[in-house]
Structure 1
């Protein structure tokens, strides 16, 4: 499994953060997406209630055409870390549901997400562990972590 990243909101101080992710099955066996969670690590400077959204999603063969993937099958939660690190005290966790979200070998699921607040408070992104303002094109990024069944890291490095 490989995770690729592309920044969508690159401002240093912003009331919304977000990016695109690709989860790529480069193995030889199908993977049930329901067994995977993906974590984006950040520092959370915002005290206001956060609004979380999956903007769009699709699935398809790597370098091939794609079809829509139900955005309702992707959950998003913002969680404080039990043991904060200098560049992360919170993570945005993405999970999948739907019961039969099989990702075949050579296929990828891609989605866009946003977390924002409406209280004019700003996230300060440059020091965030998973943020990469230079990733304006799809790139492999080990600062996001893909986990299998909530326990085993299959991609990335935790802060």
Structure 2
């Protein structure tokens, strides 16, 4: 895991690599099942998939996340099947910036390397606890949850 420590306290960037069980198509398809995120990803309280607002965007996804209180944010989602999903912020009551991506590489033998990147900036001063939870502390749970989501879609279509 590479963390950018040069940024102000209310800004955080992170990149992490993970190997998922599942071929690249299975991993890509599972990662784009946004409505299933609350069942598998820690802290995601609700999801709403909305019509795309930007050219080449496939949709918008409105997240409700439970940290110390419930916050929301809406992301413009983009896809390059089966190798990349990326996003940037449309609106939020917590962040002024959120951009990131999943980049997938097929390793063969039913394994896929995923590189997850996230860059966030908060619209107000945020305690380091919230900054760390949004950008870093949830990463192990995110990876575990994504593998569970991939497994679910591999076995249940």
Give the TM-score taking structure 2 as reference length: 0.39
Question: Which of the pair is proportionally richer in helix?
Answer: 2
Question: Which of the pair is proportionally richer in strand?
Answer: 1
Give the TM-score taking structure 1 as reference length: 0.39
Relative contact order: is structure 1 or structure 2 higher (C-alpha 8 Å, sep ≥ 6)?
1
